[in-house]
Amino acid sequence: MQLDFLGDLRRTHMCGELRAEHIGQKVILLGWVNRRRDLGNLVFIDVRDRNGMTQLVFDKGENPAAHEKASALRSEYVIAAIGHVRKRDLDTVNPNIATGDVEVRVDELKLLNESKLPPFLPGDTDIANEEMRLKYRYLDLRRDKMQANIELRHKVALAIRQSLSERGFLEIETPFMTRSTPEGARDYLVPSRVHPGEFYALPQSPQIFKQILMISGFDKYFQIVRCFRDEDLRADRQPEFTQIDLEMSFPQPDRVFEVVEAFLQAAFKAAGHELTAPFPRMTYDEAMRQYGIDKPDMRLPAMTDIRKAFTDEDLTELRIDASMNMVAVRIPKVGKISDREKKEIRALSDELAQRNKEFAGVLYDFAQLEKKRPQAATKIRELCAADSEDLIVPVVAIAAAESKARTAANQHAQFTAAGEARLELARKYADRHGAFTRTGEVGNDFKLLWVTDFPMFEYDEKENHWNPAHHPFTSPHERDMDKLESDPGSVRALAYDVVLNGTELGSGSIRIHRQDIQEKIFRALGMSIPEMKERFGFFLEALEYGTPPHGGIALGLDRIVMILAGADSLREVIPFPKTAKAVDLMVDAPTPVSDVQLKELGIKIK
């Protein structure tokens, strides 16, 4: 069919804008053919743009030329419609769309472009084949849900920018082509042609630059910034992702919390949700003891220590010694548990044993316990403040024979087993009443909290040395400074996480601002002086020029938008994501490059 040019046509309205008040007006709409219904002498076209949809009518009797043109339209053709708004007949009013009271009788139709038959249509709701969606991402992004998600992303980012800007933060860009930043993942490298054999690294975070900006006196920095981490493949992980990154001078952790709480409130508001601040706070130690995890899901009760419920004789008979951790997991309002479910719960014990090399959990059948040790069972109910409908599962953590977990450094491991049981049970039994979902879309029950005082170091058994639990610029607690060499495992860091419904949204810390302490930490991490100078010499030097106390945090924007969109994958809120195998199916990346390019870069592929 002959195509028309846009010429100087300008739309008067978006496709979702027309209402009864526009009846009689001349309008110009531009958009895509969403659907065509051909009734012979009458053709109806739904024209669509980002804003919505309007019904166009072509009447052969009134305008044979436009009618003929309309008959040839197909899905996803791009058109311009010039016509008049009129009231729909009562029997064609469509209450499901915003423009459902009116339609446009078209005087002139222009065909701006044709479309091949798309592999799926924007109106298709469930497209099982995600690879197809990603390959034809431009079509996928035409779908309502994706349009809404991307718009939400914009609104959320804008609200965050506004909130931070109002509080005196400046958005400052930092380089993508830089050198390795220590966030613990592998770097993506960019070879230099001008310096053969040398490479830039894409930033895993702007960490060093934002700290330098504090040294430079910018006082409050933020950036909504892409970060790159070459980590092992996992279902919902993106090699490039977006962080809300910030840093401020002279802060206590509380100051950072206030800033984050304010922008999260603004972000949630942009998505129509109210958040109450300040968020509760909990130390890492408390989180581990009460929830068995450092990112507790607060929609469910904490675990309860139940040792008190047993007499010494009970404990001896049950062969529970003082080193074992005894807690009860309570899932509210589960109701009756079938025999099959009881078996499932028992099987969880084996699963936990397989997963944990340090501690396994033994899960007890509470009904059995009620029969055999009624006093203990009553006591447990009391301790847990349990309702008769609640599911109670006592869990005892038992150390693996070869486990070194009884050392002070990883004593928390024994809570992990119980914590995993708690989550597993919650997923199975709380979820069946819609009380608990990972993304929190049920009831929009958003439970946020701060977890503070993380351990400074983690021991790497394989490599036999200490690693920073956050990153090596994190400041130890002032009170733990003297234990850096003697007992690194017990040193607490001024590091914090913000957690939502069991998911970590972001991590940050107060930094080391003194060169002597920074060197001490590098040494505690087993870095030699030449290595230190080679990797971070410039930074250690910068620290010597009047560095103010400073600290900050970074939160994952993708994850926040995902939760607010009620989506179950990051790919639903990133316009052009990569697959779990780090492939972009639309542009087909990565790809091999030409020999010429390799030669220029001085690179040989083995």
Q: Which residues bind ligand ASP (CB under 6 A)?
A: 183, 205, 207, 243, 507-509, 552-554
What are the residues whose beta carbons fall under 8 Å from the beta carbon of 378, sequence distance 6 or more? Answer: none
Minimum distance of ligand ASP from residue 482's CB (angstroms):
24
Pick left, alpha or beta for residue 457 (phi over 0 → left; psi -120 to 50 → alpha; otherwise beta): beta
What are the residues whose beta carbons fall under 8 Å from the beta carbon of 574, sequence distance 6 or more? Answer: 238, 241, 558
Minimum distance of ligand ASP from residue 474's CB (angstroms):
7
Q: Pick between residue 542 and residue 603 the one whose CB is nearest to ligand ASP.
A: 542
CA distances from 605 to 192, 288, 567, 593, 598 (A): 16, 47, 40, 10, 8
Minimum distance of ligand ASP from residue 554's CB (angstroms):
4
- C-alpha to C-alpha distance for 17 and 14, rounded to whole angstroms: 6
CA distances from 288 to 295, 344, 419, 456 (A): 9, 25, 8, 15
Q: Pick between residue 386 and residue 469 the one whose CB is nearest to ligand ASP.
A: 469
Minimum distance of ligand ASP from residue 96's CB (angstroms):
44
Minimum distance of ligand ASP from residue 533's CB (angstroms):
22
The 3-state DSSP composition of the chain as helix, strand, coil percent (nearest 5) reads: 35, 25, 40
- C-alpha to C-alpha distance for 484 and 195, rounded to whole angstroms: 40
On the CB side of 9, how many CA atoms lie within 13 Å of its CA? 21
Q: Pick between residue 219 and residue 341 the one whose CB is nearest to ligand ASP.
A: 219
On the CB side of 14, how many CA atoms lie within 13 Å of its CA? 7
What are the residues whose beta carbons fall under 8 Å from the beta carbon of 130, sequence distance 6 or more? Answer: 571
Minimum distance of ligand ASP from residue 30's CB (angstroms):
43
Q: Pick between residue 27 and residue 494 the one whose CB is nearest to ligand ASP.
A: 494
Q: Pick between residue 134 and residue 510 the one whose CB is nearest to ligand ASP.
A: 510
- C-alpha to C-alpha distance for 40 and 562, rounded to whole angstroms: 45
Residue whose C-alpha is closest to residue 38's, from 54, 64, 59, 61: 59
Minimum distance of ligand ASP from residue 209's CB (angstroms):
10
Q: Pick between residue 157 and residue 214 the one whose CB is nearest to ligand ASP.
A: 214
Q: Pick between residue 183 and residue 480 the one whose CB is nearest to ligand ASP.
A: 183
Residue 95 bridge partners (DSSP): none
- C-alpha to C-alpha distance for 455 and 55, rounded to whole angstroms: 62
What are the residues whose beta carbons fall under 8 Å from the beta carbon of 374, sequence distance 6 or more? Answer: none
Q: Pick between residue 348 and residue 562 the one whose CB is nearest to ligand ASP.
A: 562
Helix axes 253-270, 144-166, angle to 10 degrees: 140
Residue with tokens 């091999």: 592
Q: Pick between residue 164 and residue 554 the one whose CB is nearest to ligand ASP.
A: 554
- C-alpha to C-alpha distance for 475 and 541, rounded to whole angstroms: 18
Minimum distance of ligand ASP from residue 265's CB (angstroms):
20
Q: Pick between residue 206 and residue 292 the one whose CB is nearest to ligand ASP.
A: 206
Minimum distance of ligand ASP from residue 246's CB (angstroms):
7
Cis peptide leading into residue 278 (ω within 30°): yes
Q: Pick between residue 301 and residue 508 the one whose CB is nearest to ligand ASP.
A: 508
Minimum distance of ligand ASP from residue 548's CB (angstroms):
16
Minimum distance of ligand ASP from residue 198's CB (angstroms):
25
CB 282 within 8 A of CB 449: yes
